[in-house]
Amino acid sequence: MKISVNDQCPCHSGKKYKKCCQPYHKGVIPANATLLMRSRYSAFVLRNARYIISTTHPDNTDFTNDIKQWEEDIFGFCDNINFDGLKILEFIDGDSEAYVQFDEILSGAHFIEKSRFLKEEGRWLYESGVFE
């Protein structure tokens, strides 16, 4: 999916893409785990596999050094899911560990997930998530 920089951001923040997730997709480091989580959601919507891979912690179960296969898996997921909504429910911030609980609507179904993020070398990375 392609969007204009003036379109609403896919993360459902209500902001334009250029003022929300695009800077992160272009290399700006998110200041906190909520911003990272939103930008990852947008990256899935936009099929930006490189961003998903670069913001995944090495301890994540999906992490692999086979980047080509990982990208193909991400594209397959993105192509078979409708990303219909995102709402942040709770954010627990910390210096090196943070949690974001959110409600996402994927292909019309609600999923509540609590994700764990770890800060490594000044960057937040997605480590794991549990569906509640």
pLDDT tens-digit profile of 92-113?
999 999 999 999 999 999 999 9
Percent of the chain clearing pLDDT 70 (strictly above): 100
Would you say 100 and 33 are in contact if contact means Cβ atoms under 8 Å apart?
Answer: yes
Task: State mean pLDDT over 46-62.
Answer: 97
| 22-47 burial: b if 16+ Cβ within 10 Å, else e | bebbeeeebeebbbbbbbbbbbbbbb
Residue with tokens 């692999």: 64
pLDDT at 10: 97
First vs last C-alpha separation in the chain: 29
Ordered domains of the chain (ranges, CATH): 17-131 (3.10.450.50)
Percent of the chain clearing pLDDT 90 (strictly above): 98
pLDDT above 80 (res 1): no
The per-residue DSSP string of 23-61 comes to HHHTTPPPSSHHHHHHHHHHHHHTT-HHHHHHTB-TTST
Residue with tokens 């898996």: 73
pLDDT tens-digit profile of 77-91?
999 999 999 999 999
pTM confidence score: 0.95
pLDDT tens-digit profile of 18-34?
999 999 999 999 999 99
SS3 79: helix
Give the amino acid at 103.
D
